[in-house]
Amino acid sequence: MLDENISLPTWLYFLLIAAATYAVVVSVLFPSVRWFIHRRLKRTVERLNDTLSIKIKPFQQTRRQELIDRLVFDPQVLEVLEHQSQQTGVPREALLLDVKRYAREIVPGFNAYVYFRLGYWLARRISRFFYRIRVSAVDQQVLQSLDDESTVVFIMNHRSNMDYVLICYLAAEQVTLSYAVGEWARVFPLESLIRAMGAFFVRRGSQNPLYRKVLGRYVDMATHSGVCQAVFPEGGLSRDGNMMEPKVGFLDYMLRNYDYQRDRNITFIPVGINYDRVIEDKDLLHWDDKSRRQSRWRSLLRAFKFIRVNLFSGSRSRWQRYGYAGVNFGIPFDMRAYCEQHEINFSSLSTRERIPAIRALADELMGRVRYVIPVLPVPVIASVLLAHGQTEMRSLDIIAACDRLVDEMIDAGAAITADQKPRSRTITSALDSLVHRHILLESHDVYQINPEFKPLLEYYANSIRHWH
């Protein structure tokens, strides 16, 4: 009987072959490949931790699904879930599905290889493609002597979506950053790249208490685990160039359970960012006028045109059009010392007591950010021209007025030194850029503000108006 031949239909034969192949791949090859990749990533992280000032934390190396499960079944999240189910009558199972969706949406999938090999490369290329980068620190030695066990949080003003790219490029040699990104970036393949770089997506303005609890618990877990983060307290891009009032949401997530006597220290580092040209400047000025907003297709066509024009222009031409991008790192702000000085233990405060304390802290931090905002040529020129109204000025007069204004700002304590003052050639190049964009009108070396673009000039001047 065993010697008899068994005939099978051709379709069934190939189906069995496919099933056997799938079983081998899933049972043998996938585990082997995962083990090989995991081992390579572990070695990469070990090598990186030997060079980074702020190490990659175990929390960032934890499997994403494990973090999602930890978040979904967090006692505080389940407590809010039960309460919302009772209040709204929505079944607990349906709300649990929402929690799982929120957790998958928020939790990143950090990959050190992607962060340093692809993310850093892209950030460096993009940043240097458009701008001359100027970086300085108030005290470099203080920055290098940070406590390794402290949770470092970069507090920044928000001028452009380029801020994300710029800060990742500049900080990559010292630390890996985790930061919140709006839903605008949830498009393929950008979403996967952003997650792999350790960033997480947030629904800005969401008032869903269950979502806010899931987000808050993730931020709290990351902070208590020592993950270095970058935070934009303004919550969005400045529409008029002025720094906006800080929102306390993320700071509250970080500090509501913070016990400075028991938990690891938190060190806030103020970071000031400024540009000679913000790529989105015109759109930001018209943001509140929905009739003047561009459709998605027009924005896409504009982006393609933008890339095409700049791709085939030389570096000197690009730098003349976009000028400088400046980033200043301020003096670290020690949270433990602040709590001791003000006798505040956030974990023991009620919501009514905690929110005013968080708001006072946010104002203090944003004041320090304002102190280190870079002084760049275009904002200085804008300030000079606006101070003279519609008066026509020669280039030599503008250069002299800019020099006097920078000296006044240095005396007032601005984050610029005498050797960093814009040279006459730099001022002239910035003037040419403003004329090219029709923001200024020029005839025979005489410059005047174009009334149509005066709000744009005010936008740039507002970035340093607190110094004069």
β-bridge mates for residue 446, sequence order = 394, 443
Query: Of 279, 285, 277, 324, whose CA–CA distance to 306 is shortest?
Result: 279
Q: Is the pLDDT of residue 316 over 70?
A: no
Same domain, 225 and 133: yes
Domain final position from 371, 398, 433 = 371
Domain harbouring 162, CATH code: 3.40.1130.10
Q: How far apart are CA 160 and CA 203, in angstroms?
A: 19
Band (pLDDT 50/70/90 cuts) for residue 405 is very high
In this predicted model, what pLDDT tens digit does every residue of 248-286 receive, in sequence order? 989 999 999 999 999 999 999 999 999 999 988 888 777
Q: Is there a domain that residue 285 lies in?
A: no
What pLDDT, on a 0 to 100 scale, did the predictor assign at position 224? 92
Q: Is there a domain that residue 299 lies in?
A: no
Domain harbouring 445, CATH code: 1.10.10.10
Total domains in the chain come to 3
In this predicted model, what pLDDT tens digit does every residue of 184-208 receive, in sequence order? 666 656 667 677 777 777 887 778 8
Q: Is there a domain that residue 99 lies in?
A: no
Q: Is there a domain that residue 241 lies in?
A: yes
Same domain, 184 and 247: yes
Same domain, 408 and 334: no
Q: What percent of the chain clears pLDDT 90, i.e. is strictly above it? A: 44
Same domain, 173 and 223: yes
Q: Is there a domain that residue 136 lies in?
A: yes
Q: How far apart are CA 273 and CA 366, in angstroms?
A: 12
Q: How far apart are CA 52 and CA 48, in angstroms?
A: 6
Same domain, 170 and 189: yes
Q: How far apart are CA 330 and CA 371, in angstroms?
A: 8
Q: Are strands 393-394 and 446-449 parallel, antiparallel or unpaired?
A: antiparallel
Band (pLDDT 50/70/90 cuts) for residue 333 is very high
User: Taking the mean position of all CA atoms in its chain, how far away is CA 43?
Assistant: 28
What b/e sequence results for 185-198 when a residue is b if at least 16 CB atoms lie within 10 Å of its CB, and e otherwise? eeeeeebebbbbbb
User: Taking the mean position of all CA atoms in its chain, how far away is CA 431?
Assistant: 30
What pLDDT, on a 0 to 100 scale, did the predictor assign at position 190? 65
What pLDDT, on a 0 to 100 scale, did the predictor assign at position 45? 54
* Token digits of residue 336: 């433990």
| DSSP conformation letters of 246-279 | PP-HHHHHHHTT--TTTSPPEEEEEEEEEESS-T
What pLDDT, on a 0 to 100 scale, did the predictor assign at position 387? 93
Q: What percent of the chain clears pLDDT 70, i.e. is strictly above it? A: 76
Q: How far apart are CA 422 and CA 410, in angstroms?
A: 13
Which of 37-46, 89-98, 234-243 has maximum average pLDDT? Answer: 89-98
Same domain, 361 and 388: no
| Helix residue ranges per DSSP H, 108-208 | 112-113, 120-130, 140-144, 162-171, 190-196
* Token digits of residue 116: 């340093």
* Rounded CA Rg of the chain: 27
What pLDDT, on a 0 to 100 scale, did the predictor assign at position 265? 93
Same domain, 185 and 259: yes
Average pLDDT over residues 37-47: 58
Q: Is the pLDDT of residue 394 over 60?
A: yes
Average pLDDT over residues 229-237: 88
In this predicted model, what pLDDT tens digit does every residue of 344-377 receive, in sequence order? 999 999 989 999 999 999 999 999 999 999 999 9
Contacts of 185 (CB under 8 A, 6+ apart): 191, 194, 201
269 phi, psi to nearest 5 deg: -115, 115
Same domain, 334 and 422: no
Q: How far apart are CA 407 and CA 467, in angstroms?
A: 11
* Side chain identity at residue 191, one-letter code: E
Same domain, 246 and 387: no
Same domain, 385 and 360: no
Average pLDDT over residues 81-85: 92
Band (pLDDT 50/70/90 cuts) for residue 168 is confident
What pLDDT, on a 0 to 100 scale, did the predictor assign at position 337? 94
Band (pLDDT 50/70/90 cuts) for residue 1 is very low
Which of 142-146, 178-182, 323-327, 356-360 has maximum average pLDDT? Answer: 356-360
Residue located via tokens 């290329």: 125
SS3 (DSSP) at 314: coil
Print the SS3 string covering 339-396.
Answer: HHHHCCCHHHCCHHHHHHHHHHHHHHHHHHHHHCCCCCHHHHHHHHHHHCCCCCEEHH
* Side chain identity at residue 174, one-letter code: Q
Same domain, 152 and 18: no
Q: Is the pLDDT of residue 122 over 60?
A: yes
Which residue range forms the structural domain that includes residue 431? 377-467
What pLDDT, on a 0 to 100 scale, did the predictor assign at position 91? 92
For residue 40, CA distances in Å to 15, 43, 46, 50 come to 36, 5, 10, 16
Contacts of 249 (CB under 8 A, 6+ apart): 235
Q: How far apart are CA 228 and CA 222, in angstroms?
A: 8
75-89, 126-140, 435-449: least confidently modelled range: 126-140
Contact 438, 384 (CB under 8 A): no
Q: Is the pLDDT of residue 128 over 50?
A: yes
Same domain, 213 and 157: yes
Q: How far apart are CA 203 and CA 287, in angstroms?
A: 19
Half-sphere exposure of 331 (CA within 13 A, CB side): 6
In this predicted model, what pLDDT tens digit does every residue of 408-430 receive, in sequence order? 999 988 888 888 888 899 999 99
